[in-house]
């Protein structure tokens, strides 16, 4: 069971974050970057799983500037409508700054070893890519990020490892967009990129319509090995 903490935003104000702590006194940290459903049970469970693996996990509320405390699911039409409204209102650049503030705060905390990684899903997958290019995160993981194809030019700023999971049948990342990603990133020295044939968006979201246990397990095992090697 995790706890709540407060992060000071770079431009004033503050936002909450869910924190799951490992059993050890000092540990590397991982920032868990939300989907479009807020800091919900799926995100909290991911943070809890990371804590069980020995990481200090923190999941910031990135929608706080629009509406603090969003905690919805993907199980109803009304929630999907709300999620897309939040997505359309969200300022990606400001969100990356809030992630940078989260990295700074957790790195300065007494339980952090000094190493901080990030992992993001969906909207968070885009934000994880930008976290890798714009912050001092030590290693980042992007699951089925949406819109990365429009920002691949930022890959020239990559100086630390980035792991990417791409669903080949992603309804939100069409084949043309995937082609842009592969051409720009597949041979980048800092990028490890895996594609998952037959998988749709959010294939690693437990309880989701497109959840695929085997491929989610493979992606998560790759993520675990990546963090172990780099954090």
Out of 165, 201, 210, 212, pick the active-site residue.
201
Contact yes or no for 62/95 (Cβ under 8 A): yes
pTM, two decimals, is 0.97
Out of 48, 98, 170, 200, pick the active-site residue.
170
pLDDT, residue 132, reads 98
For helices 123-134 and 92-108, the axis angle rounded to 10 degrees is: 60
- Respond yes or no: is residue 138 known to be catalytic: no
User: For residue 179, what are the CA distances in angstroms to 22, 53, 80, 137, 226?
Assistant: 39, 34, 28, 27, 24
What are the tens digits of pLDDT across the range 23-72? 999 999 999 999 999 999 999 999 999 999 999 999 999 999 999 999 99
CA-wise closest residue to 101 among 141, 65, 72, 52:
65
Lateral strand order in the sheet of 3-8: 3-8, 14-20, 56-60, 27-33, 112-121, 139-143, 162-167, 191-196
pLDDT-based confidence at 1, cuts 50/70/90?
low
pLDDT, residue 2, reads 87
Domain count, the chain: 1
- Respond yes or no: is residue 136 known to be catalytic: no
pLDDT, residue 12, reads 86
Identify the CATH number of the domain in which residue 168 sits. 3.40.50.1820
Domain housing 125: 3-230
Question: Tokens 């912050």 label which residue?
Answer: 135
Q: Which residue has the higher pLDDT, 11 or 138?
A: 138
**H or E stretch including 97?**
helix 92-108
Instruction: Kindly report the average pLDDT of the chain as a whole number.
Output: 96
């Amino acid at each position: 069971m995790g706890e709540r903490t407060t992060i000071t935003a770079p431009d004033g104000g503050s936002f909450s974050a869910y924190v799951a702590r490992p059993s050890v006194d000092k540990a590397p940290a991982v920032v868990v970057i939300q989907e479009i459903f807020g800091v919900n049970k799926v995100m909290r469970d991911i943070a809890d799983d990371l804590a069980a693996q020995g990481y200090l996990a923190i999941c910031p509320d990135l929608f706080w500037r629009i509406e603090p405390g969003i905690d919805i699911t993907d199980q109803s039409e009304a929630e999907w409508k709300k999620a897309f409204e939040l997505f359309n209102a969200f300022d990606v650049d400001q969100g990356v700054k809030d992630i940078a503030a989260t990295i700074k705060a957790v790195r300065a905390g007494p339980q952090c070893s000094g190493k901080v990684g990030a992992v993001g899903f969906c909207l968070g997958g885009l934000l994880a890519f930008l976290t890798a290019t714009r912050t001092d995160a030590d290693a980042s993981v992007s699951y089925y990020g949406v819109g990365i194809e429009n920002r691949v030019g930022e890959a020239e700023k990559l100086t630390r490892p980035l792991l990417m999971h791409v669903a080949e049948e992603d309804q939100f990342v069409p084949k043309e967009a995937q082609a842009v990603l592969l051409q720009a990133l597949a041979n980048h020295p800092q990028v490890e990129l895996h594609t998952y044939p037959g998988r749709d968006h959010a294939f690693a979201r437990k309880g989701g319509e497109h959840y695929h246990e085997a491929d989610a397990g493979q992606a998560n095992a790759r993520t675990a090995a990546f963090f172990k090697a780099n954090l």
